[in-house]
Structure 1
């Protein structure tokens, strides 16, 4: 009887014990942090020293000002981070691996490409809800800092979590680089405003 119980115990132990989850690769962390850092620093560089008149300038009535781009980024980045945390909480979904639509090196140039214009959804239209541009920028930078601290400390397997975007499925690592690319896209839009011939001078 004892001889039968021991093998049974082994079967039960291994049958109900899950393999430890694979942790995020250090190279993925470096890749993600590079884009989060570079896009943030590019934005700060562009905004540095701009007057209220420059921040609020619009090349035409249908264009966004630099300040409105900052607010749009604050609104969308908050939503993106919430989406990311939901994808992490939903747990691994290896069955979605074959659904990926982009390779890693395609993510950043695809979203930052300004040749394709996209109209945002109404909830992400700028409306001045954060207050001043300084307050709006503070909110945006706080969201970005929270995201970067998560990446620096997490051991979550971001390659096995997924998010569904309008253009298809991405894994969580790609999604975070998408967030960085979205910021870069709007920083480029800010630079386009600054290049307008009637942009206020210092």
Structure 2
């Protein structure tokens, strides 16, 4: 179980550190939209904060329930196929599946970069705090359904891992936008 917790911690650290680098980018790049119906990098970052917010509502509530269950004598038992679910979650970071996001996760474009950065730092801290509270495997005591890509029931570690894969997916999107921005600058 310790290696699972370590993988989740490292995924959080790596992905949030990568997000942090986008705040150093030029404003023209952050606001660049190849098409009217595409998001800018600024909007992608806002979308990540919105998604994290809703995922953390579930993660925080589940963490409290898991700690209650542990204090009530529930035993941590890891299912035999436990690691297979992480492989299924890995797909989230790619573009190999379709999913229509809820409207409440659509960016408004009105948040400034300082506000977005502060939200991401707060969300990173909250994720790490939850992982630290679940240091003895308690995260497997509560499962919550995840409809994205038909993942089904995820425990808390898997839910947090999902959050990191969602971030990875959008880091790839921002890198594609950056490449398009650079290519459009060359054409001019």
TM-score interval (norm. to shorter): 0.7 to 0.9
Aligned-pair CA distance for 1:101: 9.2
Equivalent position to 2:87, from 106, 125, 141: 106
Partner residue, 2:43: 68
Secondary structure of the residue that 2:153 maps to in structure 1? strand
Is 1:186 the equivalent of 2:161? no
Superposition CA RMSD, Å? 2.7
Q: TM-score, normalised by structure 2?
A: 0.79
Does the Cα contact within 8 Å between 1:57 and 1:65 map onto a contact in 2?
Answer: yes
> 2:117 & 2:99 partners in 1: Cα distance?
23
Shifted more, 115-124 versus 162-171: the winner is: 115-124
Partner residue, 2:28: 53
Q: Pairwise mapping of residues 142-153 of structure 1 onto structure 2 (< 5 A)?
A: 142-153=122-133
Deviation per CA, 1:49-102: give whole Å up to 9, x if none: 3122111111111111100010001111011111012223344599xx87x897
Partner residue, 1:27: 3
> 2:130 & 2:14 partners in 1: Cα distance?
17
Change (3 A) 1:59 1:101: farther
Partner residue, 2:140: 159
> 2:127 & 2:31 partners in 1: Cα distance?
28
Q: TM-score, normalised by structure 1?
A: 0.74
Q: Which has the larger radius of gyration?
A: 1
> 1:141 & 1:181 partners in 2: Cα distance?
17
Is 1:171 the equivalent of 2:171? no
> 1:42 & 1:108 partners in 2: Cα distance?
20
Shifted more, 135-144 versus 179-188: the winner is: 135-144
Aligned-pair CA distance for 1:190: 0.5
Aligned-pair CA distance for 1:134: 2.2
Secondary structure of the residue that 2:87 maps to in structure 1? helix
Is 1:44 the equivalent of 2:20? yes
Unaligned runs of 5+ in 1: 1-24
Aligned length: 172
Secondary structure of the residue that 1:109 maps to in structure 2? helix
Deviation per CA, 1:115-168: give whole Å up to 9, x if none: 334332110100135x31221121122111221123134346111211101121
